[in-house]
Amino acid sequence: MSGHPLAPWRTAMRARDRSEQHRVSTPLELLFDLCFVVAVSQAAAQLHDALRDDRLGPGLLGYAMVFFAIWWAWMNFTWFASAYDTDDVPYRLLTLLQMAGVLVLAAGVPAALTHYDFTVITIGYVIMRVAMIGQWIRAAAEDPPGRPAALRYAVGIAVVQIGWVARLALPYPWDRIGFAVLVVAEMAVPAWAERGGRQTSWHPGHIPERYGGFTIIVLGEVILATLVGVQAVTGDHGVSASLLMIAIGALILVFALWWIYFTAGEVALETLRTALLWGYGHYFVFAAIAAIGAGLDTALNVAERSAQVPETDAAFTVAVPVAVVFAVLAVLHRITGTGTGLRVWAGCAGAVGVLAVASATGGLGLGGAVLGIGLVAAVVLTVSLVTTTGRRGVAVIARESVSGWGIGHEGGGR
């Protein structure tokens, strides 16, 4: 496997070329993503427990808070690496330190979602962010043209981290309010750091490829959660018609969501505003897809009478995150111009459709509702394919979309 040559010890950290050809995820980036699989899995599992035990409100709030920490740390590294990845020893060591922080964060997820105790998560998060500060300071020292932005990033991240540590001392409800304020502060740092002067030279092709890879990760969590749920209920109760419909609906849903995501046109992140809106919007995409797995697992529990949750509520635990994915992707297509008007409307109609199917659970049964949600997703996919391909045909656009996401490039270099 070819990649960026590793220097004997270190090489000067310079801004990468935005027009660099065949820029794809590196082995280090893939290992970094693998660590986040653990954190996402922990968050989804705890959300499932909250849904199964009918603790919807507290479970969703805790999940949203935890997932922000996971997503924001991943996103910050991804955009930095796109601009300044040197793949030398200091860079790798700081990245490995960030991975250690991810694992600490993952260890704190159960306490955060059950007791709102964010101590361990904050420790893991600060470890990751301190390593990120080190990367930005190095970029400021070794890349003079990018120094103003790099220093603003380092200062902004450091100030906000002080706020995260101080937040641990706040009593209820000020700790929740403090969390919201710090989220806004975190998201404001890139906009402030990139203003004026030379912007960070992230790669407009590499970034969408990295986001596509993380989408596959969270879809994998849905498949895993469904498999574990099916194994658990069949082991205790055997196979039933409702179980089969839920399993089939889940597979159709996962396949359709994957196909919908990867059949959009090429994302053009040419302006800072578009890049920020597209990047920030993926918080809802990633969090909702991971939540689908928790919802499907809950539906399996309810179908086999191992959870005391009304069937309609269980159907909505699947339908609501699916609707969020459809709606947010429609907005992102509109912002980036990667979809036709009909494709955008199809996403919005799909969001309404899955909620309508969940509302009809009383007549369809829970298995029928989940299967219906999967079929609605299949319809949205069909409309997306027809409107995207035009006269070129499905095979052509599928082949182009695969190659456009960094898969199948000759050489695989960076």
**pLDDT tens profile 287-303:** 999 999 999 999 998 98
Distance CA 292, CA 320 (A): 8
Q: Which of 304, 312, 296 is nearest to 363 (CA)?
A: 312
Residues 353 and 226 in one domain: yes
Instruction: Give the pLDDT of residue 399.
Output: 40
Residues 142 and 286 in one domain: no
The answer to the question of residue 412 being in a domain is no
User: Nearest 5°: CA angle at 310, between 242 and 257?
Assistant: 60
Using the 3D structure, point to which of 163, 193, 223 is the last residue of a domain. Answer: 193
Instruction: Give the pLDDT of residue 226.
Output: 85
Residues 310 and 171 in one domain: no
**pLDDT tens profile 251-266:** 999 999 999 998 766 6
Q: Which of 162, 156, 151 is nearest to 188 (CA)?
A: 156
Lowest mean pLDDT among 15-19, 220-224, 228-232: 228-232
**Comparing 342 with 268, which gets the higher pLDDT?**
342
Residues 167 and 272 in one domain: no
Query: What stretch of H or E contains 364?
Result: helix 361-389
The answer to the question of residue 348 being in a domain is yes
Residues 240 and 374 in one domain: yes
Domain limits for position 237: 206-404
Distance CA 119, CA 107 (A): 11
Instruction: Work out the pLDDT band at 389, boundaries 50, 70, 90.
Output: low
Q: Which of 318, 316, 317, 298 is nearest to 308 (CA)?
A: 298
Would you tell me how many other CB atoms lie within 10 Å of the CB of residue 35?
18
Using the 3D structure, point to which of 169, 193, 217 is the last residue of a domain. Answer: 193
Q: Both tokens of residue 89? A: 């020893």
Residue with tokens 């009593």, as numbered in its chain: 171
Cβ distance 199 to 272 under 8 Å? yes
Using the 3D structure, point to which of 172, 193, 214 is the last residue of a domain. Answer: 193
The answer to the question of residue 86 being in a domain is yes
Instruction: Give the pLDDT of residue 409.
Output: 36
Residues 248 and 332 in one domain: yes
Q: Both tokens of residue 25? A: 């995820």
Question: First-to-last CA distance in the chain?
Answer: 11
The answer to the question of residue 400 being in a domain is yes
Instruction: Give the pLDDT of residue 237.
Output: 62
Instruction: Give the pLDDT of residue 340.
Output: 65
Residues 167 and 145 in one domain: yes
Residues 165 and 60 in one domain: yes
Instruction: Give the pLDDT of residue 285.
Output: 96
Which one-letter amino acid corresponds to residue 318? Answer: V
**pLDDT tens profile 177-220:** 999 999 999 999 998 998 876 788 888 888 888 999 999 999 99
Residues 161 and 295 in one domain: no
Distance CA 104, CA 371 (A): 38
**pLDDT tens profile 1-50:** 344 554 568 888 998 888 888 788 899 999 999 999 899 999 999 999 99
- Looking at the structure of the chain, the number of domains it has is 2
Cβ distance 311 to 370 under 8 Å? no
The answer to the question of residue 350 being in a domain is yes
The answer to the question of residue 6 being in a domain is no
**pLDDT tens profile 309-330:** 899 999 999 999 999 999 999 9
Residues 169 and 216 in one domain: no
Residue with tokens 């793949």, as numbered in its chain: 87
What percentage of residues in the chain have a pLDDT greater than 70? 89
Residues 332 and 379 in one domain: yes
The answer to the question of residue 14 being in a domain is no
**pLDDT tens profile 89-137:** 999 999 999 999 999 999 999 999 888 899 999 999 999 999 999 999 9
Residues 171 and 228 in one domain: no
Q: Which of 289, 280, 231, 279 is nearest to 258 (CA)?
A: 289
The answer to the question of residue 17 being in a domain is no
What percentage of residues in the chain have a pLDDT greater than 90? 62
